[in-house]
Amino acid sequence: MTHRFRITIERKPGLSDPEGATTRKALIDLGFEDVEHVSFGRIVSVTIHASDEATARSSVDEMCEKLLANPVMETYTVESES
């Protein structure tokens, strides 16, 4: 069976996000004075063949831990799209 997951990867709270800070400043310069915070992350979509969703989810978590996310600097969430 095929399972599809959406992985959202973001910086851990408290770590600097230079791209977010620069974008926030640019938005304020463009007149969006109410912007308090901007952060950047990334979204990864994975489609995997597995016997059940729990097995697929376990594989996706392992992919995140080993390659897709940097556990020192980033957090990730996995959502099933199946």
Contacts of 8 (CB under 8 A, 6+ apart): 41, 42, 43, 76, 77, 79
pLDDT of residue 77: 98
- The C-alpha atoms of residue 31 and residue 71 are separated, in whole angstroms, by 36
Q: H/E element holding 48?
A: strand 41-49
pLDDT of residue 82: 77
pLDDT of residue 25: 98
Considering the segment(s) 2-80 as one domain, its CATH architecture is 2-Layer Sandwich (3.30)
Structure tokens at 52: 């059940």
What pTM does this model have?
A: 0.85
Average pLDDT by stretches of 10, the chain with 82 residues: 97 93 98 96 97 97 97 96 86
Closest by CA to 75, choosing from 5, 10, 6, is 10
Residue ranges per structural domain of the chain: 2-80
